[in-house]
Amino acid sequence: MKAQVLVIGLGLIGGSLAKALQRHEGIHVAGYDADALTARKAFKMGIIHSSPPSLERAASEADFIIFATPVGATVKLMEQSKFWDLKEGVILSDTGSTKQVIMEAAENLQHIFIGGHPMAGSHKSGVEAAKDVLFENAFYILTPGKLASEANISQLKGLLSVTKAKIEVLAAADHDHMTAVVSHFPHLIAASLVHQLDKESEYSFTRQLAAGGFRDITRIASSDPVMWRDITTQNKDMIVEQMDNWMEEMQQLKYLLEQNDPHAIQQYFHQAKMVRDELPIAGHGALYSVFDLYIDIPDVPGIISELTGYLAEEQISIVNLRILETREDVFGILVLSFQTSEDRERAKNCFARRTVYDSYIS
């Protein structure tokens, strides 16, 4: 495949996409960022092939232009693109996590636009965190505009195929509804749970008890507030609809509790368990996730550095580590978090080969 690709915005997503696209032979990936230092850094790191000084000139040479910027910035750039001297047949796309706002802006363009949303992320941000494997096994949603033909969609799919993402085509409204259910609304729930904890001034020890499971289930509340402000305002109608459904569900649950029927309450939890257990395990969904490995370790000096040393020997990166419990008379529970299920499996095998740790792993 031979083509000129311009990626505008060289953060985690744009940088990772630019790096992954270099797997194509014959592809030239130019990168532009409003921060010239970021663009220079991306070039020196080999994330892009070139860093053109002029956005308009780079755009005029491109066969594909991908806006990897926040949705608000992308809409402004799309408006500017009307004045760019673009190639006939150029395909424009984006990486925004809400699609209706983007596709409404695309209605005013005279060039082919196919919205995109790679559902991948990381605990790190910025071009320094870019990696070509970020999108592997993640869903990559495409939302074609009115000028996009099946041939155009196939062209973009062909370009993105090297990311090894699972590419699906959806209507913008369908995308925003689905992501509201499994991503946007859960962020609001997590944030509201943390706010509820924050109001527990009378029982100050509650915060200590929140160190385990509560902290895990509200992890997404630690996401970038500016990004989630934008997502929430851009997809507010879908999220409000989910909130109405949630409040109705809470009223039904409240009624169950008031009736205090043990059988009905058990059935409620049983139904939730059945649905939860049937959810797919492999791959990535709409929420950024990490893959945890639990290890019961003896509480002895140097044990953590020994274990992480084994991972370093085999070039296995960890996202995070934490200890759930450690006292002098019990094993400590070490939790190692990995970016992918493959990394977790490699770590498990790494420790299994050191047979002294094999029985501690779960």
In a domain, 202, yes or no: yes
CA–CA dist 146, 159 (Å, integer): 20
Can you tell me whether residue 167 is helix, strand or coil? strand
Same domain, 271 and 346: no
pLDDT exceeds cutoff 70 at 329? no
For 230-260, the DSSP string reads HHHHHTHHHHHHHHHHHHHHHHHHHHHHHHT
In a domain, 284, yes or no: no
Q: Could you read off the pLDDT of 248-297 as tens digits, one per residue?
A: 999 999 999 999 999 999 999 999 999 988 877 655 555 556 677 878 77
Same domain, 74 and 110: yes
Same domain, 107 and 247: no
Q: Cβ(14)–Cβ(66) under 8 Å?
A: yes
Same domain, 223 and 250: yes
The enclosing domain of 241 has a CATH number of 1.10.3660.10
Report CA 185 to chain centroid distance, whole Å. 15
Same domain, 133 and 219: no
Decide which of 276 and 114 is more confident: 114
In a domain, 353, yes or no: yes
Same domain, 162 and 16: yes
The enclosing domain of 330 has a CATH number of 3.30.2130.10
In a domain, 130, yes or no: yes
Domain end (from 115, 150, 170): 170
Confidence of residue 327 (pLDDT cuts 50, 70, 90): very low
Same domain, 214 and 140: no
Question: What is residue 291's predicted lDDT score, i.e. its pLDDT?
Answer: 75
Structure tokens at 213: 């499971």
Q: What values do phi and psi take at 334, rounded to 5?
A: -95, 130
Cβ count near 351 (within 10 Å): 20
Structure tokens at 340: 């992918």
DSSP secondary structure code for residue 60 in this structure: H
Question: What is residue 307's predicted lDDT score, i.e. its pLDDT?
Answer: 86
Output the average pLDDT for the chain: 88
Question: What is residue 332's predicted lDDT score, i.e. its pLDDT?
Answer: 60
pLDDT exceeds cutoff 50 at 359? no
- Most confident listed range (187-201, 301-315, 345-359): 187-201
Question: What is residue 112's predicted lDDT score, i.e. its pLDDT?
Answer: 97
Q: Could you read off the pLDDT of 287-298 as tens digits, one per residue?
A: 556 677 878 776
Distance between start and end Cα atoms, the chain: 44
Element (H, E) at 112: strand 112-118
Domains contained in the chain, number:
3
Decide which of 69 and 357 is more confident: 69
Percentage of the chain beyond pLDDT 70 is 91
Question: What is residue 282's predicted lDDT score, i.e. its pLDDT?
Answer: 54
Question: What is residue 15's predicted lDDT score, i.e. its pLDDT?
Answer: 96
- As to burial, measured by CB atoms within 10 angstroms (0-12 exposed, 13-18 middle, 19+ buried), residue 238 is buried
Q: What values do phi and psi take at 236, rounded to 5?
A: -60, -40
Distances (CA, A) of 248 to 41, 171, 244, 245, 362: 50, 27, 6, 5, 38
Decide which of 155 and 122 is more confident: 155
Domain end (from 110, 141, 170): 170
Q: Cβ(118)–Cβ(165) under 8 Å?
A: yes
Same domain, 150 and 92: yes
Same domain, 162 and 73: yes
Same domain, 155 and 60: yes
In a domain, 146, yes or no: yes
Question: What is residue 113's predicted lDDT score, i.e. its pLDDT?
Answer: 98
Min mean pLDDT across 5-14, 179-188, 194-203 is at 194-203
In a domain, 283, yes or no: no
Q: Cβ(113)–Cβ(81) under 8 Å?
A: no
241: nearest Cα among 185, 190, 286: 185
Cβ count near 122 (within 10 Å): 17
Domain that holds residue 195: 175-277
Question: What is residue 28's predicted lDDT score, i.e. its pLDDT?
Answer: 97
pLDDT exceeds cutoff 70 at 1? yes
Q: Cβ(98)–Cβ(235) under 8 Å?
A: yes
Same domain, 207 and 325: no
Q: What is the pTM of this model?
A: 0.77
The enclosing domain of 79 has a CATH number of 3.40.50.720
What residues contact 88, with CB distance under 8 A and at least 6 apart?
Answer: none
**Would you say how long the chain is, in residues?**
362
Q: Could you read off the pLDDT of 33-85 as tens digits, one per residue?
A: 999 999 999 999 999 999 998 999 999 999 999 999 999 999 999 999 999 99
Confidence of residue 335 (pLDDT cuts 50, 70, 90): confident
Same domain, 70 and 157: yes
In a domain, 285, yes or no: no
Domain end (from 170, 194, 218): 170
Element (H, E) at 361: none
In a domain, 286, yes or no: no
